[in-house]
Amino acid sequence: MTAPTLTLRSPADGTVLGETPITSAAEVHAASRRADEVFRSRVWSGRTPRERAAVLLHLADLMARDAETLARLDCEDAGKPITECRENDVPSAIESIRWFAEAVDKQYGTTTASGPDVLSFTEREPFGVVAAILPWNYPLAMAAWKVGPALAAGNSLILKPADATPRSVQHLAALAAEAGLPDGVLQVLPGDGPTTGAALAEDPLIGALSFTGSTATGRTILAAAAASNLKRVSLEMGGKSPQILMDDALSFGDELIEGMVESAFLTSGQNCTDSRGSPGPS
């Protein structure tokens, strides 16, 4: 029986860009078992923070080397202007990876006040297996926001890109392997929400899940997490909303109007923050 696939099409003209598999629930659970085995082996989680940072910094360098390829993939898959991909999305993704790589050895536990004969302290530890579900409007940038902290902390990460925009994320995973990330530490599972995403939310081996997308899907993920292992869930749920310009705001002049226009139409209209903030998914 032929495995189900998704056809990738350019939003610009409908051109077929390729096919990508829909990762089944059984494949998701196999991936989480693999991620757990790798985590427990300590091939990555057992490395020192600076050793992990070195791999991530190498990854950032490789992303810079392949910046044009990464920009083209996001442009084609998401229908984003190539200039925006080149000048904003790809550079910010590279910067994110470098930032988390440099931050990882600056996270400390704390010693708490106690009696003279007692030493109490807290120590930070990775979750183990974590997962992240990405939106389609900032494929590479959002992947970097998830990859950076998850891998820097020593976790094993399963990434599910949006069904329409998996290619830059898949290329990122290939670059991570080239940078020296051990096999199984980062797995990219393309697919759709009802099949692949739902299996991730229900998987009992996944200790934390980060989701960026719609409010409706966020509710579904919370319910699945509660019904399975009460995994920690981080939700960034956005969307487009109307902007109302009141009379008493007109004193701000052209700057306000320009900001509202940019907020409404940046990223082909798929942006959910104002023009002075960091672009976010809708």
| Active site residue ranges | 236, 272
How many Å separate Cα 123 from the centre of its chain? Answer: 25
Q: CA distances (Å), 217 to each of 133, 188, 197, in order?
A: 11, 20, 10
Burial of 277 (0-12, 13-18, 19+ CB in 10 A): exposed
What is the H or E stretch that residue 111 is in? strand 111-112
Tokens of 166: 């998996």
CB 147 within 8 A of CB 177: no
* Secondary structure (3-state) at 120: strand
**DSSP string spanning 201-254?**
HH-TT--EEEEEE-HHHHHHHHHHHHHTT--EEEEEE---------GGGGGGTH
Give the full edge-to-edge strand order of the sheet including 232-237.
Answer: 186-188, 156-160, 129-133, 208-213, 232-237
What is the H or E stretch that residue 198 is in? helix 198-202
How many Å separate Cα 209 from the centre of its chain? Answer: 10
